[in-house]
Amino acid sequence: MKITVPALCLLILSAAAAEEQMEFMGFSADGEHFACAIFGIYEGSAFPYGKVYVYDSVSGIVSDSMAYTDQTGEMDPDSVIGKILADNADFLLRYDIQEENVGLPLEFPVLDSPPGASMLHFSFHEPCEGLPQGLYSLDLFQNITDSATVFFGIHPSTCRLQLTRASYSCSMELLDWDSSPLMDETVYNFGLEGLRLHPSGVMVIFLSCTIQGFEIPETITVPLIVNDFTGLEQL
Protein backbone atom coordinates (compact mmCIF):
# COMPACT_ATOMS: atom_id res chain seq x y z
CA MET A 1 0.00 0.00 0.00
CA LYS A 2 1.29 3.44 -0.90
CA ILE A 3 0.09 6.51 0.98
CA THR A 4 1.20 9.92 -0.22
CA VAL A 5 1.38 12.99 1.99
CA PRO A 6 1.11 16.19 -0.07
CA ALA A 7 3.64 18.92 0.54
CA LEU A 8 0.74 21.38 0.78
CA CYS A 9 0.13 20.19 4.33
CA LEU A 10 3.23 22.10 5.38
CA LEU A 11 2.67 25.05 3.08
CA ILE A 12 -0.73 25.74 4.57
CA LEU A 13 0.80 26.29 7.98
CA SER A 14 2.94 29.20 6.81
CA ALA A 15 -0.09 31.46 6.89
CA ALA A 16 -1.87 32.28 10.14
CA ALA A 17 -5.41 32.87 8.97
CA ALA A 18 -8.91 33.11 10.33
CA GLU A 19 -11.56 30.73 8.98
CA GLU A 20 -9.37 29.28 6.28
CA GLN A 21 -11.26 27.24 3.69
CA MET A 22 -10.22 24.67 1.12
CA GLU A 23 -12.03 24.01 -2.16
CA PHE A 24 -11.42 21.13 -4.55
CA MET A 25 -10.87 22.54 -8.03
CA GLY A 26 -10.86 19.41 -10.19
CA PHE A 27 -8.91 16.43 -11.56
CA SER A 28 -7.06 16.09 -14.83
CA ALA A 29 -8.69 13.64 -17.23
CA ASP A 30 -6.12 10.93 -16.45
CA GLY A 31 -6.21 11.56 -12.70
CA GLU A 32 -2.47 12.26 -12.55
CA HIS A 33 -3.05 15.78 -11.23
CA PHE A 34 -5.68 17.63 -9.24
CA ALA A 35 -6.00 21.15 -7.89
CA CYS A 36 -7.20 22.69 -4.63
CA ALA A 37 -7.64 26.27 -3.54
CA ILE A 38 -7.28 27.66 -0.04
CA PHE A 39 -8.52 31.10 0.92
CA GLY A 40 -9.19 33.17 4.01
CA ILE A 41 -8.30 36.37 5.84
CA TYR A 42 -4.93 36.86 7.48
CA GLU A 43 -5.05 37.54 11.20
CA GLY A 44 -3.34 40.78 12.07
CA SER A 45 -3.46 42.47 8.66
CA ALA A 46 -7.02 41.30 7.86
CA PHE A 47 -6.05 41.05 4.18
CA PRO A 48 -8.01 38.49 2.10
CA TYR A 49 -5.77 35.96 0.38
CA GLY A 50 -6.03 32.95 -1.88
CA LYS A 51 -3.71 30.19 -3.13
CA VAL A 52 -4.22 27.55 -5.80
CA TYR A 53 -2.13 24.37 -5.70
CA VAL A 54 -1.73 21.66 -8.34
CA TYR A 55 -0.68 18.24 -7.01
CA ASP A 56 0.89 15.21 -8.58
CA SER A 57 -1.53 12.41 -7.58
CA VAL A 58 1.21 9.76 -7.50
CA SER A 59 4.05 11.51 -5.66
CA GLY A 60 1.92 13.96 -3.71
CA ILE A 61 4.35 16.74 -4.59
CA VAL A 62 2.94 20.18 -5.30
CA SER A 63 3.63 20.59 -9.02
CA ASP A 64 2.71 24.26 -9.23
CA SER A 65 1.04 27.03 -7.26
CA MET A 66 -0.26 30.58 -7.56
CA ALA A 67 -1.09 33.05 -4.80
CA TYR A 68 -2.52 36.53 -4.35
CA THR A 69 -3.16 38.80 -1.37
CA ASP A 70 -5.63 41.68 -1.60
CA GLN A 71 -3.85 44.42 0.33
CA THR A 72 -6.78 46.79 -0.14
CA GLY A 73 -8.93 44.54 2.04
CA GLU A 74 -11.89 45.09 -0.29
CA MET A 75 -12.26 41.62 -1.86
CA ASP A 76 -14.05 38.58 -0.53
CA PRO A 77 -11.61 35.67 0.01
CA ASP A 78 -13.33 33.48 -2.61
CA SER A 79 -13.12 36.37 -5.11
CA VAL A 80 -9.35 36.28 -4.70
CA ILE A 81 -9.34 32.77 -6.17
CA GLY A 82 -11.38 34.02 -9.10
CA LYS A 83 -8.85 36.77 -9.71
CA ILE A 84 -5.93 34.30 -9.61
CA LEU A 85 -7.56 32.10 -12.24
CA ALA A 86 -8.71 35.03 -14.37
CA ASP A 87 -5.22 36.56 -14.39
CA ASN A 88 -3.62 33.19 -15.18
CA ALA A 89 -6.08 31.62 -17.60
CA ASP A 90 -3.76 28.79 -18.65
CA PHE A 91 -2.68 27.78 -15.14
CA LEU A 92 -5.02 24.81 -14.71
CA LEU A 93 -5.00 24.00 -18.44
CA ARG A 94 -1.26 23.30 -18.33
CA TYR A 95 -2.08 20.24 -16.24
CA ASP A 96 -5.35 19.43 -18.01
CA ILE A 97 -7.27 20.27 -14.81
CA GLN A 98 -10.97 20.46 -15.59
CA GLU A 99 -13.03 22.24 -12.96
CA GLU A 100 -16.09 20.16 -13.82
CA ASN A 101 -14.13 16.92 -13.29
CA VAL A 102 -14.78 16.21 -9.62
CA GLY A 103 -14.38 12.44 -9.94
CA LEU A 104 -16.85 9.59 -9.66
CA PRO A 105 -20.40 10.29 -8.50
CA LEU A 106 -20.52 9.40 -4.79
CA GLU A 107 -23.45 8.72 -2.50
CA PHE A 108 -23.20 9.43 1.22
CA PRO A 109 -25.73 7.34 3.17
CA VAL A 110 -26.32 8.32 6.78
CA LEU A 111 -25.38 5.42 9.06
CA ASP A 112 -24.62 5.19 12.76
CA SER A 113 -21.01 5.46 13.90
CA PRO A 114 -19.61 3.27 16.70
CA PRO A 115 -18.65 4.87 20.03
CA GLY A 116 -15.28 6.61 19.91
CA ALA A 117 -15.14 6.95 16.13
CA SER A 118 -16.33 9.36 13.49
CA MET A 119 -17.23 7.80 10.16
CA LEU A 120 -17.93 9.01 6.65
CA HIS A 121 -19.92 6.47 4.64
CA PHE A 122 -19.85 6.53 0.86
CA SER A 123 -20.73 4.31 -2.09
CA PHE A 124 -20.14 4.41 -5.84
CA HIS A 125 -21.44 2.39 -8.78
CA GLU A 126 -19.00 3.17 -11.60
CA PRO A 127 -15.66 1.42 -12.25
CA CYS A 128 -12.67 2.55 -10.20
CA GLU A 129 -9.24 0.99 -10.79
CA GLY A 130 -8.20 -1.12 -7.80
CA LEU A 131 -11.30 -0.43 -5.73
CA PRO A 132 -14.46 -2.56 -6.13
CA GLN A 133 -17.83 -0.84 -6.35
CA GLY A 134 -19.97 -0.82 -3.23
CA LEU A 135 -20.39 0.70 0.22
CA TYR A 136 -17.38 1.89 2.23
CA SER A 137 -16.68 3.89 5.34
CA LEU A 138 -13.80 6.07 6.39
CA ASP A 139 -13.25 5.43 10.10
CA LEU A 140 -11.45 8.12 12.09
CA PHE A 141 -10.26 7.30 15.60
CA GLN A 142 -8.54 9.90 17.77
CA ASN A 143 -6.94 9.84 21.20
CA ILE A 144 -5.61 12.45 23.60
CA THR A 145 -1.83 12.32 23.82
CA ASP A 146 -1.28 14.82 26.66
CA SER A 147 -4.10 15.31 29.15
CA ALA A 148 -1.99 17.76 31.17
CA THR A 149 -1.82 20.29 28.33
CA VAL A 150 -4.96 22.30 27.63
CA PHE A 151 -5.59 24.92 24.96
CA PHE A 152 -9.06 26.48 25.04
CA GLY A 153 -10.38 23.35 26.75
CA ILE A 154 -8.91 20.85 24.25
CA HIS A 155 -5.89 18.55 24.52
CA PRO A 156 -3.19 17.50 22.02
CA SER A 157 -4.43 14.48 20.10
CA THR A 158 -3.44 11.87 17.56
CA CYS A 159 -5.54 9.89 15.08
CA ARG A 160 -5.80 6.78 12.94
CA LEU A 161 -7.77 6.54 9.69
CA GLN A 162 -9.09 3.30 8.20
CA LEU A 163 -11.00 2.44 5.04
CA THR A 164 -13.59 -0.30 5.56
CA ARG A 165 -15.29 -2.30 2.81
CA ALA A 166 -18.78 -2.93 4.16
CA SER A 167 -19.68 -6.08 2.22
CA TYR A 168 -16.67 -7.97 3.59
CA SER A 169 -16.21 -6.12 6.91
CA CYS A 170 -12.50 -5.77 6.17
CA SER A 171 -10.36 -2.67 6.71
CA MET A 172 -7.04 -1.23 5.66
CA GLU A 173 -5.15 1.49 7.51
CA LEU A 174 -4.73 4.72 5.59
CA LEU A 175 -3.10 6.91 8.21
CA ASP A 176 -1.36 6.48 11.55
CA TRP A 177 -0.64 10.01 12.75
CA ASP A 178 2.00 8.83 15.24
CA SER A 179 4.17 7.21 12.58
CA SER A 180 3.30 9.39 9.56
CA PRO A 181 1.96 12.79 10.66
CA LEU A 182 0.72 15.06 7.89
CA MET A 183 2.35 18.10 9.52
CA ASP A 184 4.57 19.11 12.42
CA GLU A 185 2.00 21.22 14.25
CA THR A 186 0.31 19.95 17.41
CA VAL A 187 -3.28 19.01 16.55
CA TYR A 188 -6.10 19.22 19.09
CA ASN A 189 -8.97 17.77 17.09
CA PHE A 190 -9.51 15.90 13.83
CA GLY A 191 -12.51 15.62 11.53
CA LEU A 192 -13.50 14.14 8.17
CA GLU A 193 -14.45 16.86 5.71
CA GLY A 194 -15.02 14.81 2.56
CA LEU A 195 -13.37 12.96 -0.28
CA ARG A 196 -13.01 12.77 -4.05
CA LEU A 197 -12.46 9.58 -6.03
CA HIS A 198 -11.06 9.45 -9.57
CA PRO A 199 -11.75 6.44 -11.84
CA SER A 200 -7.98 5.85 -12.14
CA GLY A 201 -7.91 4.83 -8.47
CA VAL A 202 -6.90 8.11 -6.82
CA MET A 203 -8.70 9.00 -3.59
CA VAL A 204 -8.27 12.43 -2.02
CA ILE A 205 -9.45 12.62 1.60
CA PHE A 206 -9.83 15.97 3.35
CA LEU A 207 -9.07 16.07 7.07
CA SER A 208 -9.84 19.06 9.29
CA CYS A 209 -7.16 19.71 11.91
CA THR A 210 -7.56 22.11 14.81
CA ILE A 211 -4.28 23.78 15.76
CA GLN A 212 -3.16 26.82 17.75
CA GLY A 213 -3.95 29.93 15.78
CA PHE A 214 -2.66 33.46 16.25
CA GLU A 215 -4.70 33.82 19.43
CA ILE A 216 -7.45 31.19 19.38
CA PRO A 217 -7.83 27.67 17.90
CA GLU A 218 -7.68 27.59 14.11
CA THR A 219 -9.07 24.80 11.93
CA ILE A 220 -7.40 24.06 8.62
CA THR A 221 -8.10 21.36 6.04
CA VAL A 222 -5.32 19.13 4.72
CA PRO A 223 -5.54 16.51 1.96
CA LEU A 224 -4.40 12.90 2.14
CA ILE A 225 -3.86 11.06 -1.16
CA VAL A 226 -4.39 7.29 -1.38
CA ASN A 227 -3.60 5.55 -4.68
CA ASP A 228 -3.12 1.89 -3.74
CA PHE A 229 -5.92 -0.28 -2.33
CA THR A 230 -4.04 -3.59 -2.39
CA GLY A 231 -5.87 -6.06 -0.19
CA LEU A 232 -9.42 -4.73 -0.46
CA GLU A 233 -9.83 -5.47 -4.16
CA GLN A 234 -8.69 -9.10 -3.80
CA LEU A 235 -11.50 -10.14 -1.50
Question: Looking at the predicted structure, is the pLDDT value of residue 113 above 80?
Answer: no
C-alpha 131: how far from chain center: 20
User: Quick one: pLDDT at residue 116?
Assistant: 65
**Beta strands of the chain (E only): which ranges?**
3-4, 17-27, 33-42, 48-56, 62-69, 117-124, 134-144, 157-165, 170-176, 189-198, 202-212, 217-226
Cβ density class 16-44: b for 16+ within 10 Å, e for less: bbbebbbebbbbbeebbbbbbbbbbbbbe
Largest CA distance in the chain: 57
pLDDT, tens only, 82-110: 999 999 989 999 999 998 999 999 999 98
pLDDT, tens only, 9-55: 434 333 444 568 899 999 999 999 999 999 999 877 889 999 999 99
Burial of 145 (0-12, 13-18, 19+ CB in 10 A): middle
User: Quick one: pLDDT at residue 174?
Assistant: 94
Q: State mean pLDDT over 135-148.
A: 95
Burial of 90 (0-12, 13-18, 19+ CB in 10 A): exposed
Helix (H, G, I), strand (E, B) or coil at 63: strand
User: Quick one: pLDDT at residue 27?
Assistant: 98
pLDDT band at 167 (very low <50, low <70, confident <90, very high): confident
Find residue 119's DSSP bridge partners: 139
Find residue 198's DSSP bridge partners: 202
Q: To the nearest whole number, what is the mean pLDDT of the chain? A: 88
- For the ranges 51-60, 111-120, 137-146, 196-205, the lowest mean pLDDT is seen at 111-120
